[in-house]
Chain A
Amino acid sequence: MITARGLVQTFQTRVGKEKKEVRAVDGVDLDVAEGEVVGFLGPNGAGKTTTLRMLTTLLRPDAGTATVAGYDVVRESQQVRRSIGYVSQAGGVSSGARAGEEVMDHGMLYGLSRTQVESRGKELFAQLQLDGLWERMPKNMSGGQKRRLDIVMGLIHDPTLVFLDEPTTGLDPQARANLWEHIARLRTERGATVFLTTHYLDEADALSDRIVIIDQGRIVASDTSDNLKAQVSGDLVTLEVSADQVTLAAEKLASVAASVETSGTHVSGRVARAGRVVPGLLRDVEAAGVTLESIEVHRPTLDDVFLTLTGRSLRDAESEADATDSTDSTDPTDSTASTGPTQEVTA
């Protein structure tokens, strides 16, 4: 569905008086198969949206080639536009227009007839739980409703490939979970190929068959979530013991784990296949006379993956990006908080 080779996009920016050339996208290769759901993950400013805009014909690549839905994005942009649906971060409806009218006009720009668009639009409204909102103005909709309306706009011409740019940014947790269900249905019910960008780890994890990680304009990894996590050497096992037994516990953990670290009464280390090792470890620890207060086993998170691949946690990368580029704000309800206290151990 998507094949990209060596995509490059450069922007001119001005730092003080000095003109600087920034390679926002720096040689991106991508392959997406039909029916795949691919999560394009990276911190703000990594080049996700820029890549997406090149793939959707909105931005002409400075170098490289891309074929989308079988057509070249530069030479056959018309055919690409006909085949794809694109839901941008900003959406695409005027806040003061009526939802149904926006959908009708949008569909008609694809050459659909009035009756075709109307029946398809109403059908999509029902599917995306927007019943009764045909006449509503987007400014009077909730964030989740507005976002689902944006998705209706992107699906009105029944595209086989759908691009979603940060689909759930700014939504409350309930609306996010609801939107995830709808996104998952794009494939299961419509058989669409989905390419979505996100800087939420849990979102990429929950929705995608495969995750492509981009950092500083380059692809740093592309694999299933499980395989990516397997690259991080093992699960994180944390033992909590009383203060006087910390050294002993660390010794025992070190016999099965790599890079054991101690922090207060917590001892932690990476263990390959914790499920098999932990029972033995527990017997071992008990035999040594250590009383466990608690034990925790964390599967690696995508944040661990990001850290392993780039040497920075996703959150650090975000704050760097914010420092240099203030166009996009970091959402505090983000990733690392929900995926477990892991990175200080591996760092």
Chain B
Amino acid sequence: MSTFFRDSFIVFRRQLRMNLRNPAWVIIGALQPILYLLLFGPLLKPLVSQFGATNGYTFLVPGLLVQLGMFGAFFAGFGLIAEWREGVVEAERVTPASRTALLVGRLMRDLLQLLVQALILIGLGTAMGMRPSWGGVVAGVGITVLVGGACAAASNALALTTKSEDVMAPVINMVMMPVLLLSGIMLPMTLGPAWLERISDFMPFRWIVDGVRSSFVGDFAASGVMWGTTWALALFALAVWWGTATFRKENA
């Protein structure tokens, strides 16, 4: 077990070093939710009372946080394709290092990056007037990290399966659009007609967004927090299993 942590850490440190050498991507990744916050937040402000929220930013930031977790992490796999092409993945797979460690080391980098971006987003949100329950923020970031981990693992798995940016980009787009539209990141699904809300009931990310939102207002008793956490855990476990399987798989 200790070699597992050691191996994971070696992979993590290497990935982090490469990221820090080229930090542009970390900033570009954080830019999208920040733009939403700055340019969409003011539009939302006069509307929030209509769907029972009191503070527009306390409503919007949790959604953006989950969005950050999903989008940012989904692009993690692109770097892996480049590494695969340079033979790095194969060179790592020929060492006795645990296959899970090869994935976990990369996930640790993705999650650290996500955490930094999340803190920037929360700091900025607070500066603009968000007044959350701080205990809830910690819980919400925790759920976001789980979601991010799930998406990053899935992205890595997808990268090693497709081995082509040209295939991967449209697949991610195809998955992300309905996820984005049906999880109530910008506006609550309860605003819509019943049929649309029924469809969104089948979207795990919707429950996660609701959970993080409830947690931000300090409403831990709400069933949303429980469901959100449950879904986040389930997705995380599933994606890590998938990711490890692809790293273990012979022709990866």
Knowing A92-B90, A93-B86, A94-B83 are in contact, say whether A105-B10 is a contact too (CB < 8 A): yes
Knowing A90-B87, A92-B86 are in contact, say whether A60-B14 is a contact too (CB < 8 A): no
Q: Are A109 and B22 in contact (CB under 8 A)?
A: no
Among A59, A89, A94, A110, which residue has its beta carbon within 8 angstroms of that of B88? A94
Among B85, B87, B90, B96, which residue has its beta carbon within 8 angstroms of that of A110? B96
| A84 to B82 alpha-carbon distance, docked (Å) | 25
Q: Are B90 and A88 in contact (CB under 8 A)?
A: yes
Among B10, B22, B94, which residue has its beta carbon within 8 angstroms of that of A81? B94
**A86: which B residues are within 8 A, CB to CB?**
91, 94
Q: Are B85 and A90 in contact (CB under 8 A)?
A: yes
**B94: which A residues are within 8 A, CB to CB?**
56-58, 81, 84, 86, 88
Interface size on A (CB < 8 Å)?
31
Interface size of B as a range: 20 to 34
Knowing A59-B251, A109-B7 are in contact, say whether A93-B88 is a contact too (CB < 8 A): yes
- A sample of 21 cross-chain residue pairs with beta-carbon separation below 8 angstroms, ordered by A number, consists of A59-B250, A59-B251, A81-B95, A81-B96, A86-B91, A88-B91, A89-B87, A90-B87, A90-B90, A91-B86, A92-B90, A92-B91, A93-B86, A95-B86, A96-B21, A96-B22, A97-B14, A101-B17, A106-B95, A109-B97, A110-B95
Q: Can you name the residue of chain B whose Cβ is closest to the Cβ of A150?
A: B87
| Distance of B51 from chain A, by nearest CB (Å) | 47
Q: Are B96 and A111 in contact (CB under 8 A)?
A: yes
Among A57, A84, A91, A101, which residue has its beta carbon within 8 angstroms of that of B87? A91
| Distance of B90 from chain A, by nearest CB (Å) | 5
| A78 to B96 alpha-carbon distance, docked (Å) | 5
- Check if A32 is an interface residue, CB within 8 A of chain B: no
Q: Which of B69-97 contact A (CB under 8 A)?
A: 82-83, 85-88, 90-97
- Check if A184 is an interface residue, CB within 8 A of chain B: no
- Check if A190 is an interface residue, CB within 8 A of chain B: no
Q: Can you name the residue of chain A whose Cβ is closest to the Cβ of B21?
A: A96
| Distance of B108 from chain A, by nearest CB (Å) | 14
Contacts A59-B251, A94-B82 aside, 11 further interface pairs with beta carbons under 8 A come to A81-B94, A81-B96, A90-B87, A92-B88, A96-B21, A96-B22, A105-B11, A106-B92, A108-B10, A110-B95, A150-B87
**B17: which A residues are within 8 A, CB to CB?**
97, 101
Q: Are B18 and A109 in contact (CB under 8 A)?
A: no
Q: Are B10 and A94 in contact (CB under 8 A)?
A: no
**B87: which A residues are within 8 A, CB to CB?**
88-93, 150
**B22: which A residues are within 8 A, CB to CB?**
96
- Check if B3 is an interface residue, CB within 8 A of chain A: yes
Q: Are A58 and B14 in contact (CB under 8 A)?
A: no
- Check if A153 is an interface residue, CB within 8 A of chain B: yes
Among B7, B14, B91, which residue has its beta carbon within 8 angstroms of that of A101? B14
| Distance of A279 from chain B, by nearest CB (Å) | 54
- Against A, the Cβ 8 Å flags (1 = close, 0 = not) of B165-207 are 0000000000000000000000000000000000000000000
Q: Are B96 and A109 in contact (CB under 8 A)?
A: yes
- Check if B13 is an interface residue, CB within 8 A of chain A: yes
Q: Are A60 and B250 in contact (CB under 8 A)?
A: yes
Q: Can you name the residue of chain B whose Cβ is closest to the Cβ of A83?
A: B96
| Distance of B70 from chain A, by nearest CB (Å) | 27
Q: Are B18 and A96 in contact (CB under 8 A)?
A: yes
**A153: which B residues are within 8 A, CB to CB?**
91
**A53: which B residues are within 8 A, CB to CB?**
250
